[in-house]
Chains A and B, each alone.
Chain A
Amino acid sequence: MNVIVDAGKCCGAGQCVLLAPDVFDQNEDDGIVVLLDATPPEALRAAVREAAEVCPAAAITVEERP
């Protein structure tokens, strides 16, 4: 899995951090997403997929790789 974030779309909601705090963080002031781990381990992938779906700005893309 390869995680891509689009900071230009991010609205700072922090939903991704609530779901996957080991993969996402946010800046202090504007709350814009900070990607901590672009290739998360298997155990975190379900949470990352959910984060991509519920992101209110559609700012997270997940590329699944075989």
Chain B
Amino acid sequence: MTAPAGVLVVGASAGGLAVAEALRRQGHRGGLTVLGAEAHPPYDRPPLSKQVLRGAWERERAHLRSAEQLGALEAELVLGDAAVRLDVAAREVLTAAGRTLRADAVVLATGVTPCRLPGQDGLAGVHVLRTLDDALALREHLLAGPRLVVVGEGVLGAEVAATARGMGLDVTLAGLGRAVLADQLGDRIGGALTRLHAERGVRLRLGAAVRELTGSGGRVTGVRLATGELLPADAVVVAVGSRPATGWLAGSGLPVDDGVVCDAFCRAAPGVYAVGDVASWHHEGLGRRLRLENRTNAVEQAQIVAANVLGGERPYVPVPYFWTDQYDVKIQAYGLPTAAAEVEVVEGDPEDGRFVALYREGGAVTGVLGWNMAKAARLRRPLVAAAMAPATSPATSPATPSPATPSPAASPATPSPAAAPAARVNTRA
């Protein structure tokens, strides 16, 4: 196997950093550049809506690695400069500051960009929450005024609402869904989460569309719902989902369809890979494309991407996992729990505030959820892992070589474009 001489990772968040570390740990001794749009060193995003927002952590605590650890990586970290164009054939990235970065392999790790509401831009006091700077700006605002309206009843919106209540704010949570996280976890768990927020004093306006943001003198004053109700606000958080950050890839020729379209090996084109929130890859166990916006996926996928950059041929077949902390409730979810599944409590009791629930669709266990029962939930992970494992028939699934022994077919003398099964990119449903 001939490893690429130089690797460029575009994105310096959890996924990008993890690729860089995994490349070194897996033996890459060549050049390594990590390009990050933000000026901060790599930091962790899940604490932004919790520990950082409520002020329990100084910002440095959210940094993923110390300066010493980053130094030991022997990578060139180019921070505060965004990629603006990719030349796929040349594996060359142009940056906003005018740099041209060239490599033998490029890993795309640009994440997602939060969606915004019409009229949001130019109205002070309206926030999205994606970056460390977003979190610090929002915290300043929360400390300055007592009334917060959160738009969006998904994970981020619910966590922000919970954190703000813990800070003593007057919080209203508005969203299109019937219940908190109902879209992600269904009505039963969603109902329990909705009751939790109501018990903790959050005013809920669910099943409600937002008509407009109201403002005065360039500052937000409230959120008007389609029902006509006006929710007065000193600050508004817009948490209505996000989109893969692929705008800069327009014109590159890379297939983009709700993320960078990749094959089972997380490869978008010869020598070009994607990792984390931005990657929409073919999950062989599910037999379809999947894109996950969660923290664990970024680092798990990075291990596979690094192995494949170095000449491996490992399909990425994870059991998805996410967690959310709201008040004193810690929810852990394995697999793909959906609103369509049947939900059965198999251990503990919702009345006691701790239980494990299984999600089933078509007879198969598709999700395991723990509510303040993290370990018990993890112990049931094999149930969902079985359902998500690729079929063992060679006709439907290539062998899964171990990281140390890539299959001979995956070890061309050079990482030549012709050797990569790029055709796969466009052959999935």
Contact = CB atoms under 8 A, between A and B. Distances in A.
Interface of A: 9, 11-15, 17-18, 26-32, 49-50, 53-58
A17 B98 CA distance: 45
Contacts of B374: 12, 14, 26-32
A-B complex: 5 closest residue pairs judged by Cβ atoms: A31-B374, A14-B378, A12-B374, A54-B299, A56-B295
Given A13-B332, A53-B22, A27 B323 contact: no
A51 B143 CA distance: 37
Interface of chain A: mostly helix, strand, loop or mixed: loop
Given A53-B299, A56-B46, A31 B378 contact: yes
A18 B18 CA distance: 18
B404 to A, nearest CB: 10
Contacts of B44: 57-58
25 contacts: A11-B323, A11-B325, A12-B323, A12-B332, A14-B332, A14-B375, A15-B300, A28-B376, A29-B354, A29-B372, A29-B373, A29-B374, A30-B330, A31-B330, A31-B332, A31-B377, A31-B378, A53-B299, A54-B296, A54-B299, A54-B302, A55-B299, A57-B44, A57-B46, A58-B64
Nearest to B296: A56
B303 interface: yes
B239 to A, nearest CB: 19
Most chain B C-beta atoms within 10 Å of own C-beta, residue among A12, A30, A32? A12
Contact of A31 (B21, B300, B375): B375
A56 B297 CA distance: 9
B19 to A, nearest CB: 10
B281 interface: no
Contacts of B378: 14, 17-18, 26, 31
Contact of B375 (A9, A11, A27): A27
Interface in B328-360: 330, 332, 354
B330 A13 contact: no
Nearest to A12: B374
A54 B321 CA distance: 13
Contacts of B65: 58
Contacts of B354: 29
A31 B375 CA distance: 5
B331 to A, nearest CB: 10
A5 to B, nearest CB: 15
Interface string B41-64: 000101000000000000001001
Classify the secondary structure of B's interface with A.
helix
Interface string B267-298: 00000000000000000000000000001100
Contacts of A49: 25
A15 B296 contact: yes
B382 to A, nearest CB: 10
Contacts of B370: 31
Given A54-B303, A57-B46, A58-B65, A12 B376 contact: no
Contacts of B46: 11, 56-57
Contacts of A15: 296, 300, 321
Contacts of B323: 11-13
B182 to A, nearest CB: 23
A50 B25 contact: yes
A10 to B, nearest CB: 10
B375 A26 contact: yes
A10 B335 CA distance: 21
A28 B375 contact: yes
A37 B377 CA distance: 23
A58 B299 CA distance: 11
Residue from the set A15, A26, A32, A54 with the largest chain B CB neighbour count within 10 Å: A54
Contacts of B377: 31
Contacts of A56: 14, 46, 295-296, 299
Given A29-B354, A29-B375, 12 more contacts: A12-B374, A15-B296, A28-B373, A29-B372, A31-B330, A31-B374, A49-B25, A53-B22, A54-B302, A55-B299, A56-B295, A58-B64
A55 B18 CA distance: 10
A11 B295 CA distance: 11
A49 B22 CA distance: 10
B422 to A, nearest CB: 28
Select the residue from B65, B296, B300, B377 with max chain A CB neighbours within 10 A: B296
A14 B296 CA distance: 11
B424 to A, nearest CB: 26
